[in-house]
């Protein structure tokens, strides 16, 4: 993926204010008690959204330390902005002790995007021409041709109940989503641009899809979606942040019923399997994840297609990008149903105690892949005769790359990933900085 983002990251570990967990060994941290706290400010720049600034923090409470490196409470906070209107406001809470016998994972977020990626539907079936966004190319239309504007409000809560004397958990939850969709605000993006750099006021792909009737008037500006969830999870991992052995598998059905005032009613099946193997004790492991998401009934509006769902993590985007297929453009692979897989080796090559904190650094080569398995059907009657909306047949999308990971107190993990797409229809490459491993 052509990267328009330069990320300047300052990595800080908070070391005071009574929030530092205690150690029980002078050469290696065996146990942490009380609160542990990791935070860093984020600075970035994007040609379309401007300078990005803010902070990320993650607080963990380990209790008396007997369950370390697992925790009793986790609070994740992210607040970031850009000079041209994009931003993240997110609060996530996770605990297995708040209610006896239950684990709760809840998330509240308000996410704004001035230039959200939009490439159409059904993977390679939708044409991608990089020249449309390159000023020095004869095919140039606008730098934001494959963009749209979105404001997303999200509130989710998942409850897990352990079936006694087993590793099975019953899962039930709900999600409230409100997506406000619009074309890119060209005037806002042009405010601080020189005349020679101003974006032309022309149709984006999103505008064309509306004009051609692919995006209907009822869906053009987004809408409400309220989802119920019910399923099972099997969890035998030895720890959660970076398991050395065990597996985690889930199956659930989610339903957006009409009686919850949904604009569109639909149901989906979600399957995810993750497994972990020790290669070198305490130093190296192999991890993989495979997932499958399928529409069972109803009509999913186009603005709810680019989401990958889990029972224990909030969702924000579809296949492609930092959390799914590293190196492929965000939301490149969008349809009613899809499959994906991630494979990763994690080698903890350096471990030490720094400022009374347990620190390790790891290298993590990876490979990711995805595929549309169920196409999104859209109206074609109003597409002009000279427009061929089908660019090609869908096939496997794949990437490979390398990560460099910094972990403090086993749980706060900062991952620098660089991935390469194997097909230029998915872009070229992508650099990402995320908190915690993908899975």
Q: Pairing mode, if any, of strands 73-82 and 87-95? A: antiparallel
CB of 14 within 8 A of CB of 59?
no
Q: What is the pLDDT of residues 351-374, one digit of tens each?
A: 999 887 889 999 999 999 999 999
Task: Report the distance separating Cα 286 and Cα 216, nearest Å.
Answer: 45
Q: For 282-296, b where at least 16 C-beta lie within 10 A, e where not — what string?
A: eebbebbbbbbbebe
DSSP one-letter code for 333: B
| pLDDT value at residue 43 | 62
Task: Report the distance separating Cα 89 and Cα 84, nearest Å.
Answer: 16
CB of 417 within 8 A of CB of 432?
yes
CB of 84 within 8 A of CB of 49?
yes
What distance lies between CA 157 and its chain's CA centroid? 17
Task: Report the distance separating Cα 22 and Cα 64, nearest Å.
Answer: 10
Q: What's the number of domains the chain is made of? A: 1
| Predicted TM-score of the model (pTM) | 0.87
**Which residue, among 66, 65, 78, 11, has the nearest Cα to 36 in the 3D structure?**
65
- 124: CB partners within 8 A, 6+ apart: 391, 392, 393, 394, 395, 397, 425
Task: Report the distance separating Cα 276 and Cα 292, nearest Å.
Answer: 19
Q: What is the pLDDT of residues 279-304, one digit of tens each?
A: 999 999 999 999 999 999 999 999 99
Identify the helix (H) or strand (E) that includes residue 250. strand 246-256
| pLDDT value at residue 83 | 67
Those residues of the chain that have pLDDT short of 50 are 1-28, 45-50
**Which residue, among 115, 118, 116, 109, has the nearest Cα to 76 in the 3D structure?**
109
What CATH number does residue 297 fall under? Answer: 2.40.160.50
Output the CA angle 164-168-172, nearest 5 degrees: 100
Q: What is the pLDDT of residues 39-83, one digit of tens each?
A: 777 765 443 344 668 888 888 898 888 888 788 999 999 898 876
Based on C-alpha coordinates, what's the Rg of the chain? Answer: 22
Q: How far does the chain reach from its first CA to its final CA, in angstroms?
A: 23
DSSP one-letter code for 64: T
- Length of the chain in terms of residues written: 439
| pLDDT value at residue 4 | 39
Torsion from C-alpha of 326, 327, 329, 330, nearest 10 degrees: 10
**Tokens 């399928």, located at residue:** 294
User: Containing domain of residue 167, as a range?
Assistant: 5-435
């Amino acid at each position: 993926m052509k990267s328009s983002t330069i990320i300047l990251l300052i990595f800080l570990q908070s070391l005071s204010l009574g929030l530092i967990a205690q150690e029980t060994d002078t050469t290696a941290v065996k146990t942490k008690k009380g609160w542990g706290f990791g935070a860093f400010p984020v600075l970035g720049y994007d040609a379309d959204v401007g300078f990005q600034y803010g902070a990320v923090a993650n607080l963990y409470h380990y209790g008396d330390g007997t369950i370390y490196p697992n925790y009793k409470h986790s609070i994740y906070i992210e607040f970031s902005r850009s000079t041209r209107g994009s931003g993240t406001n997110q609060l996530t809470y996770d605990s297995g002790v708040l209610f006896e016998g239950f684990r709760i994972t809840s998330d509240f977020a308000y996410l704004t995007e001035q230039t959200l990626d939009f490439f159409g539907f059904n993977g390679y079936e939708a044409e991608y021409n990089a020249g449309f966004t390159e000023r020095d190319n004869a095919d140039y239309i606008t730098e934001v041709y494959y963009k749209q504007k979105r404001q997303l409000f999200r509130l989710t809560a998942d409850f897990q109940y352990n079936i006694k004397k087993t590793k099975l958990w019953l899962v039930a939850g709900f999600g409230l989503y409100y997506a406000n969709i619009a074309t890119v605000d060209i005037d806002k993006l042009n405010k601080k641009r020189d005349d020679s750099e101003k974006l032309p006021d022309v149709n984006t792909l999103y505008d064309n899809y509306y004009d051609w009737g692919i995006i209907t008037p009822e869906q053009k500006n987004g809408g409400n979606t309220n989802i119920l969830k019910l399923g099972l999870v099997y969890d035998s991992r030895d720890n959660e942040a970076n398991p050395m052995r065990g597996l985690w598998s889930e199956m659930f059905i989610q339903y957006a019923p009409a009686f919850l005032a949904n604009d569109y009613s639909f149901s989906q099946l979600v399957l995810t399997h993750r497994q972990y193997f020790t290669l070198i004790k305490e130093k190296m492991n192999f991890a993989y994840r495979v997932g499958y998401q399928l529409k069972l009934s109803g009509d999913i509006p186009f603005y709810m297609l680019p989401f990958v769902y889990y029972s224990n993590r909030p969702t924000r985007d579809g296949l492609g990008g930092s959390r799914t297929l590293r190196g492929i453009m965000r939301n490149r692979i969008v349809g009613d149903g899809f499959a994906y897989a991630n494979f990763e080796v994690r080698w903890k090559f350096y471990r030490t105690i720094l400022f009374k904190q347990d620190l390790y650094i790891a290298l993590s080569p990876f490979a990711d892949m995805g595929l549309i398995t169920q196409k999104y059907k859209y109206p074609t009657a109003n597409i002009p005769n000279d427009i061929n909306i089908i660019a090609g047949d869908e096939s496997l999308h794949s990437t490979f790359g390398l990560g460099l990971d910094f972990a403090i107190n086993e749980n706060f993990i900062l991952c620098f990933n660089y991935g390469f797409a194997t097909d230029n229809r998915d872009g070229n490459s992508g650099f990402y900085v995320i908190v915690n491993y993908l899975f």
